[in-house]
Structure 1
Amino acid sequence: MIPHVSIIPTLSIILTIISQVYANDPKCDCYIVSGPEPGYFQNYRFWDFRYMPPEPKLAKEYDFPPLGNDGDTIKHDGDAGPLLKTPVLLKDTKFANEWVVQSWSRGSSSLFPIRLVNSEQNVFITNDPLRKDATNLVMRTTRLEDHSSTAEIETQSRNILHCSIRVKLRLFGGDAILQPPISGKSTSGQDENECQEGGELVEPEVLASPPGGACAGIFTYYDTASESDIEILTSDPPNRIHYANQPDYDFAKDEMIPGASTVVDLPVQWTSWTTHRLDWFSKDSLWWVDGIMHDRKTYSVPYHPSMLVINLWSDGGNWTGNMAVGDCVYMGIEWIEIAYNATTDGADISDELPNRRHPNHFLNTANIANEFAREGDPEKLSDNSGESDGKEETAVPRECRVACRIDDVQHNGFPEVVWDYST
């Protein structure tokens, strides 16, 4: 039998090749998403954190390809133990070529009493605490005596114009994970490594619930008046979630803006693995959990080119609440998936900024495919003039001859062809 350790580099190489073949498949001219108004996007990326090679050299070059069997990781010998001996900081991987781990800070104020300090040490790959054969991306926030140590990642691209982003995550507390220390000490000299008490880590059967006082966010961002949010507050019941298009508060009237935000009680808890999805269309924002849409808004839909942000933080304010000194909250992430358009695309098929005439980006692509299949006339796909004969669905850009879906596929991360008029 070939020793276990000798096959890991080969598996890593194979998975990387698979990622390049499927995630960047040249046959896919565009990507469509499920829903009442499926959109189509020119770009697609999938990062899977469920397997990190244990060798440091491989870890630095790893591309986070999608695993071929959704929900299962590579199977190891049961006696092999955890994959990683030390956590891997995300900033030291190729993921940092597309996302930036933040290190900025914000001072305290009357509205935000606790100083907030983002740390690169708070975003890392580590062993799944409940599965020896899996790893996760973990974001961490810790309440120290005079500040909160927090976590945030932002896309390098700030020119995303409409997207569909999905994150499979869970929130948890406790200290039963392999994690790096928080760098340095607080201004009071307090040791910042409060979450690890040393000694052998306990392997729990169930992860502890996170303490109250933290906020996990997934959102598009241009500025505070052009933003779509998914937010989870650990002070809430574990099935409650907040959706909003900003601004959601009228400071002049000192009241919430009607229609700007929604509080939803989900049928699942965010302490278990759930897939959270935000669709940013030109006229609508849609929010989903595990394939079920829970909210839809037309109010204040962002129209500026933006970046995508994922964070976990606390500042002691009215929104997050206040964590007790020494408390830690973790967000585990299995994978991140995005389909998107960008303002620098050579042939942008997204809805454009206001006052720009362009064929509607958000056509019902499934109906289009069925219509063309019935008529047997693929030439209709080349009509990109913007003129309409009363059937809006005929204005499909030439660039989208091959459409791939990213939902309802056999394995997450592997888009499947819906129609192909390339020949």
Structure 2
Amino acid sequence: MRTTSLMALPSSVLAGIFLFALTSAQKDNGNECSCFLTNGSSSGYFSYHRFHDFRNVAGASATPPTVISNENNATEAFATSDFFLSDAWQNDWQIQNWNNSDSMSASGATVLMINSANNIYIEQSNNTAPDYTSYLTFRTSRLPGFQSAAEVDSNEKNFQYLSARFLARVIGAPGACAGMFTYLPNDNPQLVQESDIEILTAGPRDMVQYTNQPSNDKNGNAQPQATVNGTNPGGRDWTLWNTYRLDWMPKMTSWYVNGESVANIAFQVPRDPSGLIMNMWSDGGVWTGNMSLYDEAYLQIQWIEVVYNTSGPFAGTSKRDEHGAGGLLEKRKGTPGCMAVCSVDADVNVTGTPVLLYNNTGVALTWRGEGTGWLAWIPLVLAGSALFGYL
């Protein structure tokens, strides 16, 4: 089969290709997709798609679980509902119950923090919005003896580049931090690999922190090139529902709010397979501040959508790969390359349902885009270009 470079074609032919792609096969179709295309300056192709929907969960509670004030009971708390015992949840996520007792001095924490399953629950919406009746809530509460917090980690820890989106809001008292981020741990803080979305409840209500960690060097000095203190488009309050997007690509981490670019950081971009984490926490340290006794704050999420590539074992590795990782777009089982290209941004009519842009057959193409492997397909309309001497 003959190959050609997309960029070698005249603009008139390129326009025809993409007009054909966008008008001939527009339909919502996730199962038939063999790769997923994102938009924006950090656009890329990805092999896998996940959509986690918390908007209309049956049995959502109208009353949040009572905060557990005993340290041991908070640590050993059971899941707050059967939703978190289902395969649909447990196949992808793990609720955490670790504490910071062994790292308080090193981290500058002034309060013992304990993650508890009791702080993660499906909450019934109390407004009349027609598109959702529930959402996932992460709670943190300041108690006399400790800070009760909430964290969920992905089971999959071999993400190698991704685009993650969260329809979320943050409400509650000052002194807490809501986080949504990629993470690869290391015993040496300087070797941690992490790309963050962080919302500080003590900060301005239109400001969000975006960082490629670590934000400090080995001497404890701030690295300003590692972080951007971004303003939400239009000064929109983070107590309102906003779609936060994190694009981790090979040379740049990019962030968007409600579809608008807000930050791009090329400094110390994570390079090795990582997991995905969401949390709501405080430790009384300089970063979060100290919550007043019995105050609470919440991260609430309607849905999460992730498109991604993978590298290495599903459970990942805690070691840094000094040779790097490819993170190339892999062939899906049963599909010869990226045959059916779907969009998760342009022309999507139903949230979480990718739109089939084109189903490629016949003519191969080599084009390496940011965050992709070697793609090898373009629509049959290219075959017609041979009549004009372009192939």
| Aligned residue number for residue 194 of structure 2 | 227
* Distance change >3 Å, CA 103–CA 131, structure 1 → 2: farther
Mapped to 1, the partners of 2:154 and 2:111 lie a distance apart of 26
What does 1:333-412 align with in structure 2 at a 5 Å threshold? 333-344=301-312, 399-408=337-346, 409-412=348-351
Q: Equivalences for 1:45-84 in 2 at 5 Å?
A: 45-54=50-59, 84=61
Structure 2 letter corresponding to 1:119: S
Aligned match of 1:109: 105
CA distance in 2, matches of 1:329, 1:312: 8
Give the equivalent residue in structure 2 for 1:66: none
Residue number in structure 1 paired with 2:291: 323
Q: Which residue of 2 aligns with 1:32?
A: 37
Q: For 1:282, give the aligned amino acid.
A: P
Letter of the structure 1 residue corresponding to residue 138 of structure 2: M
Q: Give 1:166 shift.
A: 0.6
Distance 1:418 1:354, change over 3 A: farther
| Residues 85 and 284 of structure 1, relative CA distance in 2, 3 Å threshold | closer
1:62 alignment counterpart? none
Change (3 A) 1:313 1:84: closer
Aligned to 1:212: 174
**Which segment is superposed worse, 308-317 or 404-413?**
404-413
Residue 96 of structure 1 corresponds to which residue in structure 2?
Answer: 90
Q: Which amino acid aligns with 1:330?
A: Y
SS at match of 2:156: coil
Secondary structure of the residue aligned to 2:261 is strand
**Aligned equivalents of 1:290 and 1:259: distance in 2?**
24
**Inter-partner Cα distance in structure 2 for 1:151 and 1:315:** 12
Residues of 1 paired with 2:325 and 2:139: CA distance? 44
Conservation of the 8 A alpha-carbon contact between 1:402 and 1:422: no
C-alpha distance in 2 between matches for 1:162 and 1:276: 17
Amino acid at match of 1:36: S
CA distance in 1, matches of 2:221, 2:324: 34
Count of residue pairs brought into register by the alignment:
296
TM-score (norm 2): 0.70
The answer (yes or no) to whether the contact 2:311–2:325 under 8 Å persists in 1 is no
Q: Which amino acid aligns with 1:115?
A: L
Output the amino acid matched with 2:339: R
What percent identity do the matched residue pairs reach? 34
Does the aligned pair in 2 maintain the 1:139–1:332 contact within 8 Å?
Answer: yes
1:166 equivalent to 2:165? Answer: yes
Q: Distance in 2 between matches of 1:231 and 1:358?
A: 28
1:257 to 185, 207, 223: 223
Cα drift, residue 149 of structure 1: 0.4
- In 1, the alpha carbon distance for the partners of 2:180 and 2:33 equals 27
2: distance between equivalents of 1:48 and 1:400?
Answer: 26
* Counterpart residue type for residue 399 of structure 1: G
Q: Distance in 2 between matches of 1:272 and 1:149?
A: 24
| Residue equivalent to 2:379 | none
Deviation at 1:221, TM superposition (A): 0.4
8 Å CA contact 2:115–2:149 kept in 1: the answer is: yes
Contact 1:29–1:399, Cα closer than 8 Å, also in 2: yes
**2:117·2:150 contact (CA, 8 Å) conserved in 1?**
yes
Q: 1 CA distance for matches of 2:62 and 2:169?
A: 23
Change (3 A) 1:103 1:269: same
Label 1:92 to 1:358 Cα distance change in 2 as closer, same or farther (>3 A). closer
Distance 1:326 1:414 in 2: 41
Give the 3 Å change call, closer, same or farther, for CA 91–109 of structure 1 in structure 2: farther
Q: Note the C-alpha offset of 1:359.
A: 11
Tell me the distance in 2 between the aligned counterparts of 1:121 and 1:311: 13
User: CA shift at 1:126, angstroms?
Assistant: 1.3
| Matched-pair contact (CA < 8 Å) for 1:23–1:44 | no
Q: Look up the SS of the partner of 2:90 in the other structure.
A: helix
Cα pair 1:248 1:260 within 8 Å, conserved: yes
Any gaps of 5 or more consecutive residues in structure 1? Answer: 1-20, 55-82, 173-209, 347-352, 362-396
Pick aligned residue for 1:245 from 212, 233, 238: 212
Pair 1:131–1:360, CA change in 2 (3 A): same
User: Which runs of structure 1 show a deviation greater than 2 angstroms over 4 or more consecutive aligned residues?
Assistant: 21-24, 83-94, 129-133, 353-361
1:350 corresponds to:
none
Name the structure 2 match of 1:179.
none
Pairing of 1:174-189 with structure 2 (within 5 A): none
Q: 1:153 to 1:318 in 2, by over 3 A?
A: same
Cα distance 1:23–1:103, how it changes in 2: closer, same or farther (>3 A)? farther
1:112 maps to a residue whose letter is A
Q: Which has the higher contact order (CA 8 A, sep 6+)?
A: 2
Partner of residue 119, structure 1? 116
**Which whole-Å deviations, capped at 9, do the CAs of 1:60-90 have from their partners, x for residues lacking one?**
xxxxxxxxxxxxxxxxxxxxxxx64666535
Q: Which amino acid aligns with 2:289?
A: G
Q: In the aligned structure 2, how far is the partner of 1:292 from the partner of 1:37?
A: 12
State the Cα RMSD in Å: 2.7
Match of 1:193 in 2: none
| 3-state SS in 2 of match to 1:91 | helix
Provide the secondary structure at the position in 2 that maps to 1:316: coil
TM-score, normalised via structure 1 length: 0.65
Question: Of residues 342, 358, 374 in structure 2, which corresponds to 1:419?
Answer: 358
Inter-partner Cα distance in structure 2 for 1:125 and 1:359: 34
